[in-house]
Structure formats: C-alpha cells, structure tokens
C-alpha cells in the first residue's frame, strides 16, 4: 500500500492521532471520494445516491480497524510518509493565505513542487485538496507545525527542506510579505530551526551576496574547519541513500537529491575559493 493508500485506507490516524492533520485529511478524503463517485456516476449514467461531502467512513479491508494491528516496518514507513505529505501541503496552504490572497505565482510554486516530486494523478489532486482545505481551516499554521515537528523528530533534513519550500512559495511573486515572514519565523521556531540557519535559507532565496555560504547555513566569516564540519554533516543528512533508508517515497527522494547536489556545488565553490 502506498502512502496515498494509507490515507485513503483510513490508517493515517494511527500516526497523526487525529488533531489538525487528521481533520484536514478527513475533509480532503471526503471531497476526494465524493468527487470520484460523482465522476463514476456520470461516466456510467447511473445514480448510486448522494453521500455527504466531507464525510468519510472507511469500510472493508482498507478500514482503519482492519489495519490497526499491522506494525510492520514497511507499514510504519508508509504512515510516516503520508503524515509528512499532509503536514507539508497543510503548512503551505496556511503560508500562501497569510497575506489574505493566494496569488497565481504561489499556486504555480505549489504545482512546481508536485512536478519536481513526480506526484501525478489522484495523488496530485489530493495534495491540492489538502492545500485548499488547510488554507481555509480554523487551525493555525502553528497547529500544523507542531504536528510536523512530532513527525520529523529524527529527520532534520525534512525540516530544512520544508523551510526551503516555504521561502520558495513566499517569494514566488518576488516579494516577502511581512505576514508571510511572520509565518515562516513561527514555523522555524517550532521546528527548532536556529536563527543562523533560518537567515542562511532566507539569504539563499533572496539572493544573498554569498550564496554558497548560505546554502551551507554559514557566513563568509566561518573558519575552514567549521566549513568542513558543516559540509560533512549536511552531506550525511541529505545523502540520497540515507533518505531512501528512512523509507521516504521516491517523490521526496528526488526533491532531496536536488538539495544534495546544491550542497555539493556550494562546497566546490567555497573549496576552490579558499583552496581547501
């Protein structure tokens, strides 16, 4: 069962334990199943009755109760994957709505993430539904960030990648609105992102003068030993083999690989400049 299947099967509740992500998942599932049934009725020309949009009652082998006892490592990995994607698109939804209006550029930035992750078909439509449900929900971005922090306790690379995505979305229209900046700072605090790392990510996206240092989360004042230490640490965190071993889906492996390559390019730039 894929991470998407975990969500539709109802077993995602085993990881998120309800809360804001569980509520958003339920609402998005309800719309997904309602729309799918509507398309089916239209296609075969039969009326199977109206269900309530936004209501999901899993039945059969995919029901939450049926899978509740499964504790295999592959099952747990799929549940973590599902929880990560729910958190990601929920937080992106809140960020895009922070200044009151979701611009065309912000929408295109979210679609770009889906393209780069290779998310297509029903999974793509579901991710967009999560984004839309979250942006208008009663939950705050802090609510989603706290659950994301719990999900990624042992995965700092996922937290840094999320911050990258937030800045990329916020700056898609070439301007960082104060409300968006406030949201990003709040999420960074909850995720334990240090001010230095946050500024480095910000500089990278806002065209800081020392882009290579920003990619590594450093400033030009960093010593050679510090540069080597941070580079080795980042390479270990973002190495594709490590991401795969954590059970993340191919969609995220591809995105993380881009980050790994960016780190390598930054190191080469600094290494040549300092003759390291």
Query: For residues 227 and 270, is the Cβ–Cβ distance under 8 A?
Result: yes
Instruction: Tell me what the pLDDT averaged over the chain comes to.
Output: 76
Q: What is the Cα–Cα distance from 122 to 210, expressed in whole angstroms?
A: 41
Q: Please check the confidence at residue 190 and state whether its pLDDT lies above 90.
A: yes
Which pLDDT does position 16 carry in this prediction? 59
Domains of the chain as residue ranges with CATH:
207-276 (1.10.287.110)
Q: Which residue has the higher pLDDT, 139 or 18?
A: 139
Highest mean pLDDT: which range of 17-31, 227-241, 248-262: 227-241
Model's pTM, two decimal places?
Answer: 0.63
Query: For residues 231 and 216, is the Cβ–Cβ distance under 8 A?
Result: yes
Q: What is the Cα–Cα distance from 274 to 265, expressed in whole angstroms?
A: 14
Residue-wise pLDDT tens digits, 29-88: 775 544 444 444 444 444 444 443 333 333 333 333 334 444 466 666 666 777 788 888
Residue-wise pLDDT tens digits, 89-109: 999 999 989 988 888 888 888
Q: What are phi and psi of 251, to 5 degrees?
A: -55, -45
Residue-wise pLDDT tens digits, 197-213: 888 788 778 765 467 88
Q: How many CA atoms lie within 13 A of 242 on its CB side?
A: 15
The average pLDDT across 135-147 equals 92
């Amino acid at each position: 069962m894929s991470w998407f299947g975990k969500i539709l099967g109802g077993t995602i509740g085993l990881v998120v334990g309800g809360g804001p992500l569980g509520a958003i998942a339920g609402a998005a599932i309800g719309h997904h199943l309602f729309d799918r049934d509507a398309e089916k009725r239209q296609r075969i020309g039969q009326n199977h009755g109206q269900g309530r949009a936004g209501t999901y009652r899993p039945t059969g082998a995919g029901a939450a109760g049926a899978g509740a006892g499964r504790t295999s490592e592959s099952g747990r990995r799929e549940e973590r994957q599902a929880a990560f994607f729910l958190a990601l698109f929920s937080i992106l939804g809140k960020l895009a709505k922070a200044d009151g209006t979701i611009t065309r550029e912000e929408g295109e930035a979210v679609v770009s993430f889906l393209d780069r992750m290779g998310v297509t078909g029903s999974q793509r439509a579901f991710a967009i539904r999560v984004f839309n449900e979250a942006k208008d929900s009663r939950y705050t971005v802090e609510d989603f960030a706290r659950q994301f922090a719990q999900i990624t306790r042992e995965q700092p690379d996922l937290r840094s990648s999320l911050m990258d995505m937030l800045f990329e979305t916020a700056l898609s229209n070439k301007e960082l609105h104060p409300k968006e900046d406030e949201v990003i700072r709040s999420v960074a605090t909850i995720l334990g992102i240090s001010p230095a790392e946050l500024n480095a990510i910000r500089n990278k996206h806002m065209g800081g003068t020392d882009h290579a240092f920003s990619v590594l989360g450093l400033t030009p004042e960093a010593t050679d030993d510090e540069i080597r230490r941070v580079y080795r640490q980042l390479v270990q965190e973002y190495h594709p083999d490590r991401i795969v071993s954590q059970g993340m889906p191919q969609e995220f492996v591809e995105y993380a690989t881009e980050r790994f390559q960016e780190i390598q390019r930054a190191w080469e730039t600094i290494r040549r400049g300092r003759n390291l």
